[in-house]
Structure 1
Amino acid sequence: MEKYLEILKNSYHGYFNYLWTEITHFHWENYFYGLILVSLIVWALEVIFPWRKDQKIFRKDFWLDTFYMFFNFFLLNLIVLIFLSNATAEVFNDILGLIGLKLLDFQLLNLDALPFGFGLLIFFLVTDFVQWNTHRLLHYSPFLWNFHKLHHSVKEMGYAAHLRYHWMEPVVYKSLLYIPLAIIGGFNVEAVAIVHFTALAIGHLNHANLGWDYGILKYIFNNPKMHIWHHAKVLPNHAHYGVNFGISLSLWDYVFKTNHIPHDGRDIELGFDGDEQFPSGFLSQELYPIKTKRTNNS
């Protein structure tokens, strides 16, 4: 227990210092100003090339989604995620130690030993594929779907909707990514930053008010015209749990036949069945899964 209390203390102290440094010092891997820069660029594209021309620049829930961006990107890490990540890693290492193994025993590939571009590509593909499967799980599991509903409560799409999600989601994503990333260890801060900002930009564009599909590249990269159907309120009969689960890449949806773009989805209704009962405020949205579980159990 003493070890985990030390992890808790170091996690909060370390991340607070990191966040303060990010805010007060600019560098090329700076997540704080990187988020702001990417958001401003994609927002400008929305204003200049709007797909839904009658949608306001400050669309429905614009400020709520903006708050979610900074809360989920930074404050959430400070409050809980960094400690959970560090504690999970320590628990996993302790379990391996009980059976005489170490995390390095699982490492099949060292990305640092590969040419930088090739290693970066492997890191990106593995990360995106695991996240694609995790995203599907959020839809297929009734328990996890209750948390994921928050992201699907968006009624007017815009770039900031990308980071409207419940705090439980990154816990699930990071937990399921832990072992695959351990298997391909050796990635450095520069590689992580490149993949992170690439995924951030693609995710922002996917949710933006833009009518782009990138031509032939639509079969590789997720895009606004494809992702709008992921948020459709009415799902096709053959895909009750959802379609178009791609995070950065659409490739997996085409390979595993979860793609669905029946026609131009510019004006389709967004949401999910029963979303009119979904709360509109931040705190009530965060508490929704807990309250819903209590209601179902009562």
Structure 2
Amino acid sequence: MDKPSVSRTPYSDGKPARKPASVVRSTVDETAGLLGASGPLRFGHGLISTIIALSLGTLCLLGVLAFHFPEYLTTPELRRQYSVEVLRQALLVALLVAGGLSLANIILGVRRNLNMLAFALVMIAVALGGSRVPVGDFPDNTPYIGLDWFILDLLGSTLVFVAIEKLLPLRKGQPVFRKEWQTDLKHFAVNHFLVGLILLTVNFVIHNAFGWMVQHDFQLVVQGIWFVPQLLLCILVADLSQYWTHRAYHEIPFLWKFHSVHHSTKSMDWLAGSRQHVLEVIVTRVLVVAPLFVLGFSEAVINAYIIIVGFQAVLNHANVRVPWGPLRYLIVTPDFHHWHHASDDEAIDRNYAAHYAFLDYLFGTAVKADRSLPNHYGVVGDYMPDGFFAQQMFPFRARPKG
């Protein structure tokens, strides 16, 4: 990875040990350098194992805190589905892997400062109870942040999509830690931590603004449809709402100021889709979920839709090439959605659909290009500032599009 040069530690060069304050400063500087780095990872330098140890050590500590305070740090909809024993076993394995890797690197003198930090995180997690933290009864209606959703989704997305991107890359040679990954990870974290607030806001608006439209007899008819066609219909209704909402974000200058945050990423991978303005997340979810609530799709169908939309949203931004064949005219694929994020002339304000690609062909907004991939991603003019907070403030300071 490209990063600031860090002086070798005294443990590896035989020089006298530094004073504790100097070691702390060195560790802070080295950690900051690692977090600010980008570029390809190379085997044989101990960096990959160090990153794994640090990442797992951090997630383990967060996981232990979630065990201690489940009523405030876990998502009610998720914790009702948990197998606590399975989670304990997963946490134990993660502690062993993080501790083993960091300890081995310390013994071998490989990036000792960073690995001592990783080992310290593991030891703190163990001291707080590790995988054996007791979980008693607790109230189910407390305010919360989705720490558990952040941990599970980050682990799952990383393991699945990084592997897919390496096996079936759309753009070969694009590193896992590409430029601006730090900004997108912050978007990912905030959108997950605020899941409780977002869902509460969405549910409040939907039930109060659209409740009068509910017709129970009609809903019973919809719920009587067999599961598979009901699910396909649910996805179609959601995507029609998504299509016109998405198109409005592009064609109405005031709304574009918010949506341009999402389009400002200049590299496409599984993390790129997380870059969104918080207000856009809330508004879009209200406008997409409201019709599903009004029409009365069954809970099982809506749960299946949520799983599909979550997976497809990540996949469509991923650096993945799959030979879809004629299916690419029916469903949205990564290369279809990559064109939507392109700044090439023929790609501007095209390919709005999130699930069914045929909607863009039906409404005349599908990209027409003489090549399979766009040349550039991002907003035309590259005017978006980097950094999560700067991007959240951008719509309130920017001039409208057009």
TM-score of the two chains, using structure 1 as the length reference: 0.78
Q: Corresponding residue for 1:77? A: 195
Is 2:159 the partner of 1:47?
A: no
Q: How many positions carry a matched residue from both structures?
A: 265
CA contact (8 A) 1:207 1:227 kept: yes
In structure 2, how many angstroms separate the alpha carbons of the residues matched to 1:26 and 1:63?
Answer: 30
Q: What residue is the counterpart of 1:8 in the other structure?
A: none
Q: Contact conserved, 1:159 with 1:209, CA < 8 A, in 2? A: yes
Return closer, same or farther for 1:261/1:65 CA change in 2, 3 Å cut-off: farther
Residue 255 of structure 2 aligns to a residue in which SS? helix
The equivalent of 2:360 in structure 1 is 253
Instruction: Tell me the equivalent position of 1:211.
Output: 321
Query: For the structure 1 residues 199 and 213, does the alpha-carbon distance in structure 2 shift closer, same or farther, using more than 3 Å as the test?
Result: farther
Q: Distance in 2 between matches of 1:243 and 1:265?
A: 15
User: What is the letter of the counterpart of residue 180 of structure 2?
Assistant: D
Find 2:228's aligned residue among 98, 114, 117: 117
The yes-or-no answer on 1:61 pairing with 2:180 is: yes
Following the alignment from structure 1 to structure 2, what is the Cα–Cα distance between the partners of residues 266 and 253? Answer: 18
Deviations 1:27-61 (A, max 9, x none): 6xx96535642453122110122222121121122
Distance 1:193 1:21, change over 3 A: closer
Aligned pairs (5 A) from 1:166-185: 166-185=277-296
Which runs of no fewer than 5 residues in structure 2 stay unpaired? 1-69, 84-147
The aligned counterpart of 2:247 is 136
**Aligned residues of 1:227 and 1:244 also touching (Cα < 8 A):** yes
Distance 2:242 2:171 in 1: 29
CA distance in 1: counterparts of 2:224 and 2:156, whole angstroms: 32
Identical columns (%):
28
Partner of 1:284: 390
Structure-to-structure mapping, 1:124-163, within 5 angstroms: 124-163=235-274
1:237-290 per-residue CA deviation (whole Å, 9 max, x = no partner) reads: xx75x1011112211011111111413354611112222x31101111111111
Identify if the C-alpha distance between structure 1 residues 51 and 87 changes in structure 2 by more than 3 Å, giving closer, same or farther. Answer: closer
Give the aligned partner of residue 9 of structure 1. Answer: none
Report the Cα distance in structure 2 between the residues aligned to 1:186 and 1:120, rounded to whole angstroms. Answer: 8
Q: Which residue identity does 1:169 align to in structure 2?
A: E
Structure 1 unaligned runs (5+)? 1-13, 97-101
Using the TM superposition, give the Cα deviation of residue 20 of structure 1 relative to its aligned residue in structure 2, in angstroms: 6.5
Counterparts of 2:208 and 2:371, CA distance in 1? 48
* Bigger radius of gyration among the two: 2
Q: Counterpart of 1:4?
A: none
Q: 3-state SS of the aligned residue for 1:195?
A: helix
Task: Give the distance between the partners of 1:155 and 1:212, measured in 2 at CA.
Answer: 21
Letter of the 1:253 counterpart: D
How much does 1:146 deviate?
Answer: 0.3
RCO comparison, higher one (Cα < 8 Å, 6+):
1
User: What's the CA shift for 1:117?
Assistant: 1.8
**Partner AA of 2:277 in structure 1:** H
Quick one: structure 1 residues 15 and 278, their matched pair in 2 at CA, closer, same or farther if it must change by over 3 Å? farther
What is the SS of the residue equivalent to 1:149? helix
Whole-Å Cα distance in 1 between the matches of residues 217 and 168 of structure 2? 46
DSSP-derived class of the 2:170 partner: coil
